[in-house]
Amino acid sequence: MQDYGEIDIQIFEKEFGKLQTNKVILTNERDEHIKEQHPQDYEYFKRYASETIHKPDEILRDFKNDGTVFMVKKLPDTNLNVVIRLALETDKPELKNSIMTFYRIRESNLKKLRNNNKTLYKRQ
């Protein structure tokens, strides 16, 4: 398990209610998932995941998966998406906010995400 720092829980608690923690982790299993399922994006993950979590350009609520958000970072040539499952007050007490997956996302697909989900935060 790897520690990916902390999130600003105020953004999330307005939408989801109380969170158990502000800490974000990555399990070994999810690290392997990213490495295997998104191998072309893995170097981006290692380089930009922390920055994407700490200074996202956008945060969207995932309406398909309970307690899940998309944290998006724009780069000059692509967009990055870190999908995080939040540890809500109603979840098991031992859970932490967890990175589920990471991938680059084209602008057209990001527009679809925006249209199908709720914007919780957008950098001005």
DSSP for residue 41: G
Tens of pLDDT, residues 98-113? 999 999 999 999 999 9
Both tokens assigned to 124: 């001005």
Give the confidence band of 91 by pLDDT, cuts at 50, 70, 90. very high
CA distance 97 to 85: 6
Residue 124: pLDDT band (50, 70, 90) is confident
In a 3-state reduction of DSSP, which class is residue 20? coil
pLDDT tens-digit readout, 29-42? 999 999 999 999 99
Cα three-residue angle 9-123-91, rounded to 5 degrees: 25
The residue segments making up the domain with residue 94 are: 2-122
> How many domains would you assign to the chain?
1
Convert the pLDDT of each residue in 6-52 to its tens digit. 999 999 999 999 999 999 999 999 999 999 999 999 999 999 999 99
User: Token pair of 50, please?
Assistant: 């922390």
pLDDT at 52: 96
